[in-house]
């Protein structure tokens, strides 16, 4: 069998495998596809008359790579026919019988169609090189996707490589000894207190592994996601790792709307153990545990509060460090609450530019309205809420009445249609088709039609 020589093939495969962190089998598969595309280009440049090259024309061709001999062959699968109409897909039965007498029609044979060394021209070589580069990129993206798909929602150690527009490109790996891949940290996922410089290392939260053949890094990471805070606490507090203390909810504002307000996080924790203080376990002795988390987040403020099944207690805790006088759940159905605090605690409860109450509302899921205790009129607020509730109930009753009326009309219409159908079926059952009098009306109609539209019979 003939073969096109490729000097240095073995070293090239090993070099690509090492440079791109790909298995040798993946490199060989990419090279076979690229050489097949090069052969297609070679065939198309021959300008054979009467042949139309469709997209699936070369599906019966394949490339056999010989790494030891450093070369490749092109093989074609052809069907045995009586009369050949296409030399690339068919072969005559009489030709095959000369070599294999047991051959029959519609059998398939493999034939060597490797071109000569000097026939595989420059254009085919360029095509092969371009396709190989693309296939290697595809293999890399596929490998990254398979490796990191199960790591979404995990925290990785990453190092800053370069800056592209407002994004930062980092190198991250899935574990010790694993090859590093590029990850993108967009502007919206960065922390304002971080100092991003070349070769600086950060812990990042893997948000998504991009699929498809899009350009750029496949990994989208974040420093602003609440999942990073959860990981840091779980990594620092053994009680969380042992499931003695659980994190119930997290509300984080890593990129506040104003540059005068710093990033802040509120985290609600709970435990089923009576002898364990979940807040103290997260803070640690003299704040040692929470300080590690704060340092990793570059000084971000973190409030650890105790979760409670009682909404009033939970809301009061969520407004820490402000002291709350009273929590009024004015509209539990709409999850609205009035929080009464003294005048000196009013600004602390609201927070700078409303950050504290905003995070508390996000943490608890309640609409929180901070009120001054001395200026709060209970009777007036109760009457306002009673009016709103009654108005909402009236609207709900009106909607229910309209819906019930519509359903009643549909039911009456369906009943009328059913009665009409039953009447027609009953008339048909009572009709005696053997009685000629039943045809009188039909015959009369036929006479009228004949009078209006006379037809001359020939």
67-83 pLDDT, tens digit per residue, is 888 888 888 898 988 88
Residue by residue, DSSP assigns 160-193 as EEEEETTEEEEEE-SSTTPPPEEEEE-GGGS-TT
| pLDDT attached to residue 228 | 95
**What pTM value is reported for the model?**
0.65
Q: Long-range contacts made by residues 341-349, C-beta under 8 angstroms, separation at least 24?
A: 341/370, 341/371, 341/372, 341/373, 342/372, 342/373, 342/374, 343/372, 343/373, 343/374, 346/370, 346/372, 348/321, 348/322, 349/319, 349/322, 349/324
What angle (nearest 5°) sits at the alpha carbon of residue 373, between those of residues 372 and 379? 105
Give the helix, strand, coil percentages of the chain, each rounded to 5.
45, 20, 35
Helix-helix angle 122-148:9-20, to 10 degrees: 40
C-alpha dihedral over 83, 87, 89, 91, to 10 degrees? 50
Q: Give the SS3 label for residue 336.
A: strand
Tokens representing 230 are 């959860």
What angle (nearest 5°) sits at the alpha carbon of residue 387, between those of residues 382 and 391? 150
Q: Give the SS3 label for residue 159.
A: strand
- How far apart are the C-alpha atoms of 326 and 315, rounded to whole Å? 10
Q: Give residue 82's Cα distance to chain centre.
A: 53
Q: Give the SS3 label for residue 225.
A: coil
Tokens representing 294 are 């704060």
| pLDDT attached to residue 434 | 59
Give the ranges where 89-225 is alpha helix by DSSP (H): 93-99, 122-148
Name residues of the chain where pLDDT drops below 70: 1, 47-51, 120-123, 176-177, 212-216, 430-458
**Total residues belonging to the chain:** 458
């Amino acid at each position: 069998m003939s073969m096109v020589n490729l000097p240095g093939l073995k070293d090239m495969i090993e070099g690509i495998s090492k440079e791109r962190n790909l298995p040798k089998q993946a490199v060989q598969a990419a090279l076979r596809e690229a050489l097949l595309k090069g052969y297609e280009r070679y065939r198309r440049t021959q300008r054979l008359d009467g042949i139309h090259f469709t997209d699936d024309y070369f599906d019966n061709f394949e490339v056999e790579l010989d790494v030891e001999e450093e070369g490749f062959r092109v093989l074609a699968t052809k069907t045995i026919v009586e009369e050949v109409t296409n030399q690339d897909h068919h072969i005559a039965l009489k030709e095959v019988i000369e070599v294999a007498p047991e051959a029959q029609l519609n059998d398939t044979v493999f034939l060597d169609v490797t071109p000569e060394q000097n026939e595989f021209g420059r254009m085919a070589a360029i095509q092969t090189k371009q396709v190989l580069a693309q296939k290697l990129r595809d293999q890399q993206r596929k490998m990254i996707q398979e490796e990191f798909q199960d790591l979404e929602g995990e925290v990785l150690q990453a190092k800053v490589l370069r800056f592209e527009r407002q994004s930062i490109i980092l190198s991250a790996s899935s574990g010790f000894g694993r090859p590093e891949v590029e990850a993108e940290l967009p502007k919206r996922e960065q922390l304002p207190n971080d100092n991003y410089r070349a070769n600086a290392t950060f812990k990042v939260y893997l948000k998504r592994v991009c699929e498809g053949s899009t350009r750029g890094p496949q990994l989208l990471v974040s420093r602003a996601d609440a999942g990073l805070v959860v990981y840091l606490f779980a990594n620092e507090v053994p009680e969380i790792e042992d499931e003695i203390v659980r994190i119930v909810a997290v509300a984080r504002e890593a990129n506040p709307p104003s540059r005068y307000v710093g990033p802040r996080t509120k985290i609600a924790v709970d435990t089923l153990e009576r002898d364990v203080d979940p807040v103290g376990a997260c803070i640690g002795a003299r704040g040692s545990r929470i300080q590690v988390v704060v340092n990793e987040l570059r000084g971000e403020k973190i409030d650890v509060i105790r979760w409670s099944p009682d909404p009033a207690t939970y809301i009061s805790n969520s407004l820490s460090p402000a002291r709350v006088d009273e929590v009024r759940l004015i509209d539990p159905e709409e999850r609205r609450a009035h929080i009464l605090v003294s005048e000196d605690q009013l600004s602390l409860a609201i927070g700078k530019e409303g950050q504290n109450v905003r995070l508390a509302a996000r943490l608890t899921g309640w609409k929180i309205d901070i009120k001054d205790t001395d200026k709060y009129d209970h009777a007036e607020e109760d009457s306002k809420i009673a009016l709103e509730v009654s108005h909402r109930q009236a609207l709900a009753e009106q909607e229910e009445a309209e819906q019930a009326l519509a359903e009643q009309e549909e039911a009456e219409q369906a009943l009328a249609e059913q009665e009409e159908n039953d009447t027609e079926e009953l008339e048909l059952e009572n009709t005696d088709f053997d009685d000629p009098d039943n045809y009188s009306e039909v015959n009369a109609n036929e006479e009228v039609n004949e009078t209006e539209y006379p037809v001359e019979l020939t």
